[in-house]
Amino acid sequence: MASRARGEDGAPTSRSETASPAREQTRQRVIEAAIGLLTNEGRDAVTTRAVADAAGLQPPAIYRLFGDKDGLLDAVAEHGFTAFLATKRVDPDPQDPIEDLRAGWDVAAEFGLANPALFTLMYSEPSRADSAAFRAGMEILRARIRRLAAGGWLRVDEDLAAQIINATARGAVLTWLSLPEERRNPALLTALREAMVAAVTNEKPSVRAPGPAGAARALRAALPDQSNLSVAEQHLLGEWLNRLAADG
């Protein structure tokens, strides 16, 4: 007699219950169980057996869904990046682009402080930069930086600006979390944010000041929107602008 199909929890299930939506619901239940353990008891509590128990499954289900514990932790981190992405506020035409930059940095810090265990997991492995949600969040940041460059506000190269902004926000949160509660001074976060602003932006738009570097950055930021140049022409002009911008 043919054996009956069983679900991730080991119980008999119909063919329709093994379809993708049911699997995804089970997968989400496991991720939420892992986040609960991570938040309430710490990373060491996130064992395959403990997560399975919390999700009402048998341990082998974790391996079928995620491959191994590392796969589960990667899925939890991806969930975190997706939740963080949902908090990002996008203004395509901010009245003050530097205040918009500050606001974006604050959102990142606030998410980390509100979700300390999850935030630490998200940034504990360099390979998690391959996360689709992480990349989407970086695109939002890069668009914000591009607006700064187009307005002549950007002091450094766009890639370096993205690295500085990301590193200071991440470092600020992780440093804050590493401190005993009695030593956590909100002035630390403000100082690090303002150091970031000073490092990546000009006090005045550089296109109004002498020197070609700021103008080159502004023109380079607008280059992708130009439709009257061929791809080859855009590439060549981009190389020239890169050289000019590097001299500033």
pLDDT tens, position by position, 90-137: 888 889 999 999 999 999 999 999 999 999 999 988 888 888 999 999
- CB atoms inside a 10 Å sphere around CB 73: 19
pTM beyond cutoff 0.85: no
- pLDDT for the residue 209: 42
pLDDT at 199 over 80: yes
- pLDDT for the residue 172: 97
What are the structure tokens assigned to 28, written together? 């989400």
Asked if 174 contacts 120 with a C-beta cutoff of 8 angstroms, the reply is yes
What domains sit in the chain, N to C, each tagged with a CATH number?
Answer: 14-67 (1.10.10.60), 80-206 (1.10.357.10)
* Inter-axis angle of helices 158-178 and 212-222, nearest 10: 90
The tens digit of pLDDT for each residue in 38-66 reads 999 999 999 999 999 999 999 999 999 99
- pLDDT for the residue 218: 58
pLDDT at 248 over 60: no
Please state, rounded to an integer, the average pLDDT across all residues of the chain: 84
Q: What is the mean pLDDT of residues 153-175?
A: 95
28 CA to centre of own chain: 20
- pLDDT for the residue 105: 96
**Angle, CA 247 vertex, CA 245 and CA 248 arms, to 5°:** 75
- pLDDT for the residue 1: 39
Calculate the alpha carbon distances from 246 to 64, 106, 124, 216, 235 in Å. 50, 29, 32, 9, 17
Burial call 210-232: b when 16+ CB within 10 Å, e when fewer: eebbbbbbbbbbeeeeeeeeeee
Which region among 117-121, 156-160, 188-192, 200-204 has the lowest average model confidence (pLDDT)?
Answer: 200-204
